[in-house]
Structure 1
Amino acid sequence: YFTAQLRKKYQKSFFYKSMEQTSPPSYLKLFELFGKLKHLKRTGWVLNNIKDPESVASHMYRMAVMVMCLPPEVNVNRDRCIKMALVHDMGESVVGDITPHCGVSAEDKVRLETSAMKEISSLLNNDGKEIFSLFEEYELGQSPESIMIKDLDKFDMILQAFEYEKRDSRIGELQEFFDSTCGKFKTNIVQGWENNLLENRQAEMLTDNINKNSAS
């Protein structure tokens, strides 16, 4: 969750202190850094007062599983997609989950996350080149793999929103997440998944209205 004290926290992090080290990277420390994503709650849900919201790591995990579920006719490099799904938010282990509601411009968000990814990658020496390459490819959003992962990123968000609406009896209350993705999916497969999700959500909303009217 992004706060106004980002810079102060950044300077105290293992990541910042390790930037000038010349010794080989401590993989244990790096794994601890990445492990923060297992506990970092996604900002959008926190701001909407979602109880027990998902973590950044759980979001990336389901995206990777979605790649594994793609039908054979979808022409993307699945291995690269899975890696990209697991890398695309890795910089948030340093800068937090920044959203448009955090008072940070889109340009500054990209700059902060890119800087974090460059330094993380540099700590891994040659092993980090692939990580930064995957992140850079994702940000550019031009390859078939990056287009797919950007679609899955958005789709997982609205699927999660629907799950929270059902779990917390808040059907229809998280509309802003659906509005933010409307018309933005580029791949046929995810467009189909979106349509199916919206149909299910509409059915839930109708049932919810019927139940409320019956109770009144």
Structure 2
Amino acid sequence: MRNVNRVFFCKSLSLVFLVPSFTRPHLRFTYSAAGASLPNRAIHCMATDPPLPQSAASFSSVTGGGNPVSPTPRTNDVAAVPASSAIDFLSLCSRLKTTPRAGWVKRDVQNPESIADHMYRMGLMALISSDIPGVNREKCMKMAIVHDIAEAIVGDITPSCGVSKEEKNRRESEALEHMCKLLGGGERATEVAELWREYEANASPEAKVVKDFDKLEMILQALEYEQDQGKDLEEFFQSTAGKFQTDIGKAWALEIASRRKKQP
């Protein structure tokens, strides 16, 4: 089997992410642990390959399309993910710690939070939230730390990037496919993929709660940047106004808005 290299260029910075391909003829993402120490910035895929053939064994079985693939039976779930796969996956995910959130970068915020910072506080939101009938709080915590995981490869694609929702979803789906293959493709990979798909589709009570946490974390961070750096970040509050789906989302958003009104 020959290796083919694909180059992914940063939109505004000079980082180049070189990855050997896996065998399918489309966007190719394979991670080399040797590259984990490279400085990272938001990566924007420059994709020109044709769509994946429908007949190919695809990630659709994990993310919801096609017939589900039963996980390989295991007698010891602790050993389900080989150590080498776990460390490769976690090393790739380190990029979430070093990739700044694009919205803040574009507004010249100093020392902007990373994608991982954002997901971590969302996880805390789920942890401290009150019990809600019909909502699995543990699942919300898991979903919070998974919902932006594909950005380890594609970067933080925001509405101002000029990328359609369909194209954004395609890029992220293929990135997640690679990450789940890297993780070993077993039960844990399936769980990650299902959580991500459920969040993207806003398809469950947990997804609705976590979608609200996503917006809440953003406006809370905006408030903190306004207080600490004297920024006017009204657009972030306007973009979320009237879009909260849950009682907890609405209540916490009102509290944040109230505190914003009181600031000097």
Band of TM-score, shorter chain: 0.7 to 0.9
- 1:11 Cα deviation after fit: 4.8
Matched, 1:109 2:168: yes
Matched residues in 2 for 1:5 and 1:12: separation? Answer: 20
Task: Choose which of 97, 101, 109 in structure 1 pairs with 2:156.
Answer: 97
Identity %: 42
Between Structure 1 and Structure 2, the one with more helix by share is 1
Task: Identify unmatched segments of 5+ residues in structure 2.
Answer: 1-8, 22-27, 33-81
Task: Choose which of 236, 240, 248 in structure 2 pairs with 1:181.
Answer: 240
| Partner in structure 2 of residue 79 of structure 1 | 138
Contact 2:88 2:182 in 1 (8 A): no
| Partner in structure 1 of residue 215 of structure 2 | 154
Task: Choose which of 3, 6, 17 in structure 1 pairs with 2:30.
Answer: 17
1:93-114 per-position Cα deviation (integer Å, ceiling 9, x unaligned): 0000100111211211111111
1:74-132 per-position Cα deviation (integer Å, ceiling 9, x unaligned): 54111111111000000000000100111211211111111111221122220211100
Task: Choose which of 93, 97, 115 in structure 2 pairs with 1:56.
Answer: 115
| Greater CA drift, 45-54 or 117-126 | 117-126
Task: Identify unmatched segments of 5+ residues in structure 1.
Answer: 209-216
Where has structure 1 moved over 4 Å in runs of 4 or more?
A: 8-11
Give the TM-score taking structure 1 as reference length. Answer: 0.84
Matched residues in 2 for 1:143 and 1:10: separation? Answer: 35
Matched residues in 1 for 2:238 and 2:10: separation? Answer: 25
Are residues 68 and 17 of structure 1, via their aligned partners in 2, closer, same or farther at CA, if it must alter by over 3 Å? closer
Give the TM-score taking structure 2 as reference length. Answer: 0.69
Are residues 5 and 168 of structure 1, via their aligned partners in 2, closer, same or farther at CA, if it must alter by over 3 Å? closer
Output the amino acid matched with 2:163. Answer: V
Contact 1:3 1:102 in 2 (8 A): no
